[in-house]
């Protein structure tokens, strides 16, 4: 019988610290597989004081023994992927790209930015990287897949024909038709750099599981940004929940084993959209500074607020989470009081679930005593009594055990219970 794959999923609005946990778990896994998203996502990993910022390459790249797979559910920007690859050596044989992953090309970013400009104050707040337009082309069946890089001339002709067919639309947005020769040469460069890594990754993952290899699946962003289950329309364009690992890699539900959900000990969000527990005052700014809450991909300051137990309970259920990895506990060090959102006031009622539209939901808080220092703790017993009480209360509220607790960005400062 095939071995089941372990899965890591973000439980908030992304940026939960998945990179550190994937890196931590990748040390004991043979394969690390990315199943969704694009280079709008960013994982920051610190190993022995050295910082790595990953966007498309799976976090297992820092384990020289692990093989890394970019699945068909990813939208891949060749230009950015090649640049990211330049950080590492000897990637052949341990990095693989699905031939069915969709290409994200420079014109997708131009479309993304044009649409945001046209929306004005109703803009979603995308990263402007072209993720939405690339997924839009995929769903509209006018996109192009990585396997098409094998034939750059044919691919260039298809792209130019698409521009010609939709000329009025592109002109209205101010998006220029690519120059034919420049486009062809660009695609040739992509082929030369990426061809050794392109393969049928579905067969590769199946084979790994059939052989009893330890496989780890990682997504991007977080549950509350899921295209179906997040705060639509202020969401990303892919399936970020655990179910997305099946469609994004070619697996079936029975292939999924242990699910680890990642959450910060507080909450952050990038871009526009509802965020009930956001703190607009000094404490929110303190969370931002203490947690270095600035986007890995964009550098944008993240919106900061308190742990939302309502949204978290929703995320735990929808992802089938077996354990939560609680990240950045040390960011709360020194706070005299710590808030947790335990319910919402919504349309004149107190509710304990995530409604159809979170806009207008007001947080109902429970206040906890703070603590002096958790930074660097490596056992649960080392934590201050009030920090342990905070964690145990969160477990009860969300209905899931905190199996991993991170007390600094460093790989070693991790409590495994």
In order, the DSSP letters of 7-44 are EEEE-SSS-SSHHHHHHHHHTT-SEEEE-SB-TT--EE
Residue pair 263/11 in contact (Cβ under 8 Å)? The answer is: yes
Q: Reply yes or no on whether 15 is catalytic.
A: yes
Can 5-76+202-416 and 102-196 be said to share one CATH topology?
no
Residues 413, 415, 416, CA angle at the centre, nearest 5°? Answer: 135
**Catalytic residue among 6, 15, 112, 279, which?**
15
pLDDT band for position 271 (cuts 50, 70, 90): confident
pLDDT greater than 90 at residue 227: yes
Residue pair 317/393 in contact (Cβ under 8 Å)? The answer is: no
Cβ neighbours of residue 386 closer than 8 Å, sequence gap 6 or more: 368, 369, 370, 371
Q: What is the pLDDT of residue 237?
A: 92
pLDDT greater than 90 at residue 89: no
* Best CA proximity match to 263, nearest among 345, 331, 215, 338: 331
pLDDT greater than 90 at residue 20: no
Estimate to the nearest angstrom the gap between the alpha carbon of 150 and the chain centroid: 29
Classify residue 286 as exposed, middle or buried by CB count within 10 Å of its CB (0-12, 13-18, 19+).
middle
Residues 102-196, CATH architecture: Orthogonal Bundle (1.10)
**pLDDT per residue as tens digits for the range 104-138:** 999 999 998 988 888 877 777 777 889 999 999 99
Classify residue 163 as exposed, middle or buried by CB count within 10 Å of its CB (0-12, 13-18, 19+).
middle
pLDDT band for position 297 (cuts 50, 70, 90): low
Q: Reply yes or no on whether 43 is catalytic.
A: yes
Q: Which of 160-174, 290-304, 361-375 has the highest mean pLDDT?
A: 361-375
- How far apart are alpha carbons 301 and 304 in whole angstroms? 9
- Mean confidence (pLDDT) of the chain: 93
CB atoms within 10 A of CB 321: 27
- How far apart are alpha carbons 58 and 220 in whole angstroms? 10
**pLDDT per residue as tens digits for the range 301-318:** 999 999 999 999 999 999
CA dihedral 160→239→340→290, nearest 10 degrees, is -40
Arithmetic mean of pLDDT, 8-33? 90
- How far apart are alpha carbons 415 and 158 in whole angstroms? 52
Contacts of residues 272-275 at CB distance under 8 Å and 24 or more positions apart, as own/partner, are 272/123, 272/124, 272/125, 272/234, 273/124, 273/125, 273/231, 273/234, 273/235, 274/231, 274/234, 274/357, 274/358, 274/359, 274/360, 274/361, 275/13, 275/303, 275/305
Structure letter (DSSP) for residue 321: -
CATH of region 5-76+202-416, choose from 3.40.50.11540, 3.40.470.10, 3.90.170.10, 3.40.1010.10? 3.90.170.10
- How far apart are alpha carbons 368 and 359 in whole angstroms? 26
Cβ neighbours of residue 196 closer than 8 Å, sequence gap 6 or more: 92
Residues 78, 228, 200, CA angle at the centre, nearest 5°? Answer: 35
Arithmetic mean of pLDDT, 208-228? 95
pLDDT greater than 90 at residue 148: yes
Lowest mean pLDDT among 65-74, 84-93, 338-347: 84-93
Q: What is the pLDDT of residue 120?
A: 78
Q: Where in the chain are the domains?
A: 5-76+202-416, 102-196
Instruction: Name the token pair of 299.
Output: 């550098």
pLDDT greater than 90 at residue 34: yes
Q: What is the pLDDT of residue 114?
A: 87
Name the percent of the chain lying above pLDDT 70: 98
**Catalytic residue among 29, 39, 43, 55, which?**
43
pLDDT band for position 2 (cuts 50, 70, 90): confident
* Best CA proximity match to 263, nearest among 309, 301, 229, 294: 309
Arithmetic mean of pLDDT, 10-34? 90
- With b for 16 or more beta-carbon neighbours within 10 A and e for fewer, the 11-44 pattern comes to bbbbbbbbbbbbbbbbeebbbbbbbbbbbbbbbb
Instruction: Name the token pair of 51.
Output: 């910082």
- How far apart are alpha carbons 201 and 194 in whole angstroms? 14
* pTM of this prediction exceeds 0.85: yes
**pLDDT per residue as tens digits for the range 326-357:** 999 999 999 999 999 999 999 999 999 999 99
DSSP β-ladder status, 402-406 and 414-416: antiparallel
Q: What is the pLDDT of residue 117?
A: 84
pLDDT greater than 70 at residue 296: no
């Amino acid at each position: 019988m095939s071995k089941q794959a372990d899965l890591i999923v973000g439980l908030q609005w992304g940026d939960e610290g998945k990179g550190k946990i994937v890196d931590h778990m990748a040390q004991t896994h043979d394969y690390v597989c990315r199943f969704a998203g694009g280079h709008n996502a960013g994982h920051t990993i610190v190993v022995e004081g050295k910082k790595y910022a990953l966007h498309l390459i799976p976090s297992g790249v820092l384990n020289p023994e692990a093989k890394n797979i970019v699945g068909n559910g990813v939208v891949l920007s060749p230009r950015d992927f090649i640049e990211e690859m330049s950080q590492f050596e000897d990637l052949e044989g341990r990095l693989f790209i699905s031939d069915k992953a969709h290409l994200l090309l420079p014109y997708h970013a131009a479309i993304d930015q044009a649409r945001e400009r046209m929306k004005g104050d109703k803009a979603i707040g995308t990263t402007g990287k072209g993720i939405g337009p690339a997924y839009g082309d995929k769903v509209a069946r006018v996109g192009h897949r990585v396997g098409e890089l094998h034939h750059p001339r044919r691919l260039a002709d298809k792209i130019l024909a698409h521009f010609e067919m939709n000329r009025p639309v592109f002109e209205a947005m101010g998006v220029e038709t690519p120059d034919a020769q420049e486009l062809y040469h660009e695609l040739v460069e992509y082929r030369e750099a990426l061809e050794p890594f392109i393969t049928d990754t579905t067969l590769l993952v199946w084979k790994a599981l059939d052989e009893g290899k330890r496989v780890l699946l990682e997504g991007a962003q977080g549950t509350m940004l899921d295209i179906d289950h997040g705060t639509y329309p202020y969401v990303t364009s892919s399936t970020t929940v655990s179910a997305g690992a099946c469609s994004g890699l070619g697996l079936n539900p029975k292939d999924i084993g242990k699910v680890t959900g990642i959450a910060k000990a507080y909450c952050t969000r990038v871009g526009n959209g509802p965020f009930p527990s956001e703190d607009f005052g000094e404490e929110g700014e303190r969370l931002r500074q203490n947690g270095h809450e600035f986007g890995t991909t964009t550098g944008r300051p993240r919106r900061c607020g308190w742990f939302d137990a309502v949204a978290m309970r929703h995320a735990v259920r929808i992802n089938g989470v077996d354990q939560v990895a609680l990240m950045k506990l040390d960011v709360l060090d020194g706070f005299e009081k710590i808030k947790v959102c335990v319910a919402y006031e919504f349309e004149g009622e107190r509710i304990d679930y995530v409604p159809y539209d979170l806009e207008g939901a007001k947080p109902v808080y429970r206040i906890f005593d703070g603590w002096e220092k958790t930074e660097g703790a490596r056992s649960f017993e080392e934590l201050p009594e009030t920090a342990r009480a905070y964690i145990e209360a969160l477990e009860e509220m969300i209905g899931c055990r905190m199996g991993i607790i991170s007390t600094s960005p460093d790989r070693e400062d991790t409590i495994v219970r």
